[in-house]
Amino acid sequence: MAEPSSPASRLRLLGPLRWVLFASLALNLLVLGLLLGALLDGGPGRGPRSIEMALGPIVRALDEEDRNAILGSLRQRPDLRPPRREERAAALAEIVESIRAEPFDPERAGQALAAQSGRVAELQAAVQAALLDRLQAMTSEQRQSFASGLEEELRNDRPHGGDR
């Protein structure tokens, strides 16, 4: 029987972990692609779906004019363009290669994964900054109305049953 710290034991433990990491990355890339595509494609009046994934109930509490203003400011940022197909393929290839490498190099795999999550974090920060800019441009009455709408959205977002 191999010791828990033996290379054979570690490889057996890393096998499922490798697939979990790969699946997680694939899901992150899918969400990032959908989010960036929704943010940057399409015209005004398409409803809140485009930034809802980034801010959830906050976006639903905004009126159409505010959502469109936020989307407009994000569309003007060339740094938020979705990565080209070749770039996505190269990033995934690096992750796959880092997972398959023998010996496994967790630092290399971590860097490859961090590059993808960094892109998602940049996008989220940009959406939040655009929201803050829009809130700052609102009158006090508009912000109060938005806050009331947000409270309503939060009440509607609560899971049903079990809450008391």
42 CB burial (10 A radius; 0-12, 13-18, 19+): middle
Is the predicted pLDDT of residue 113 greater than 70, yes or no? yes
Q: Cα–Cα distance between 51 and 54 in angstroms, integer?
A: 5
For the stretch 121-132, pLDDT in tens is 888 888 889 999
- Cα 94 from Cα 73, distance rounded (Å): 33
Mean pLDDT of 29-48: 49
Q: What is the pLDDT of residue 154?
A: 84
User: How distant, in Å, are the alpha carbons of 1, 65, 150 from that of 72?
Assistant: 62, 10, 22
Confidence tier at 52 by pLDDT (50, 70, 90): very low
Pure H helices in the chain = 7-40, 49-55, 57-61, 64-75, 85-100, 106-137, 140-157
Read off the pLDDT band of 14 (50, 70, 90): low
Which two tokens mark 49?
A: 């779906």
Q: What is the mean pLDDT of residues 31-56?
A: 49
- pLDDT of 136 > 90? The answer is yes
Average pLDDT, the chain: 74
